[in-house]
Structure 1
Amino acid sequence: MIIPYTISQIPDIAKQLIVSVPSKILCFYGEMGAGKTTLIKALVKELEGSGSTSSPTFGIVNEYHKENGDLLGYHFDFYRLEDESEAWDLGLEDYLSADTWIFMEWPEKIKGLLPETRTDIKIEILDEKTRRLTIL
């Protein structure tokens, strides 16, 4: 599935993804500034997440909860990892075994550890305001 979209369409793209992805483990590929974090923020909001959403670049992982306090999911940013073993040290295996949403930025940094049951999403910059999302 290939979907071109603008910033104003992000909430609709998030709704589409939630109902169409075959897995709750979403791996986001795209260059810096493509809009991976922005789309994840929209997904968390659409899934009734509470609190603020930001990229966990320095903390590696953020935990999100629903408005009622239930766990919504985890958001990983593997950009700063030097080695796949660092993901294991974070307890990645435990996170992946949880029945919850998992959002991963820069999953190519841990490609040998990615589960088979995942949805790969590529975001490309078409111009300043337009992106192309491809579900692989």
Structure 2
Amino acid sequence: MKKTFQLNEIREVAKEIIGTTPGKILCFYGDMGVGKTTLVKAMVKELGAMDEANSPTFGLVNEYRGENDKLIAFHFDFYRLNDEMEALDMGFEDYLAQDTWVFIEWPEKIESLIPEDAVGVFLHFVDENTRSIELNVS
């Protein structure tokens, strides 16, 4: 998938990613402020989470649940991580072992820990209201 979209179309983009991505582990790449968290929020909402998603920058991970308290997704933000050991210490591999969606912002901070079947989601600025997105499926 490769496309350009307006920010007001982000829900449709989220829906398309969820419907076409072969795996449930997605790594979000892009500059600060490009909309990685905004896209994750739209995806979490599309998946039926009961709570609104927000950035887990300080806690590193947020967990989202839907109806009947069913686990829907984990959302990681590794921007403030100093090294991969911090991710291992928090049990990152245990999160990956669960059969649920996993959204990872700043995956370049934990590159050697990313599973081979993870999907890369690359976001780029086009202008103030426009972004381009490309999915890299291995």
TM normalised by structure 1 equals 0.98
Report what 2:99 is aligned to.
Answer: 99
Q: Distance in 2 between matches of 1:37 and 1:50?
A: 17
Task: Tell me the CA shift for residue 68 of structure 1.
Answer: 2.6
Distance 2:45 2:96 in 1: 21
Distance 2:15 2:76 in 1: 21
What residue in structure 2 maps to residue 13 of structure 1? 13
TM-score by length of 2: 0.97
The aligned residue for residue 27 of structure 2 is: 27
1:54 paired to 2:54: yes
Q: State the one-letter code of the partner of 1:104.
A: I
- Using the TM superposition, give the Cα deviation of residue 8 of structure 1 relative to its aligned residue in structure 2, in angstroms: 1.1
Counterpart check, 1:110 vs 2:110:
yes
Aligned partners of 1:130 and 1:68: how far apart in 2?
Answer: 37
State, as a whole percentage, how many aligned pairs show the same letter: 53
Instruction: State the shift of 1:93 in Å.
Output: 0.6
Q: Which runs of 5+ in 1 are unaligned?
A: none
Give the length in aligned residue pairs. Answer: 136
The SS at the match of 1:68 is: helix
**Paired letter, 1:49:** A
| Residue in structure 1 matched with residue 88 of structure 2 by the alignment | 88
Q: Measure, in 2, the Cα distance between the counterparts of 1:96 and 1:28.
A: 16
Unmatched 5+ residue regions in structure 2?
none
Rounded Cα–Cα distance in structure 2 between residues aligned with 1:44 and 1:50: 9
Tell me, in whole angstroms, the C-alpha distance in 1 between the residues paired with 2:29 and 2:67. 28
1:67, distance to aligned residue in structure 2 (A): 2.9
Task: Please tell me the root mean square deviation across aligned C-alpha atoms, in Å.
Answer: 0.7
Q: Deviations over 1:83-106 (max 9, x none)?
A: 011100010010000000000000
Shift of 1:52: 2.1
Partner in structure 1 of residue 41 of structure 2: 41
Shift of 1:11: 0.7
Q: Which runs of 4+ in 1 moved over 3 A?
A: none
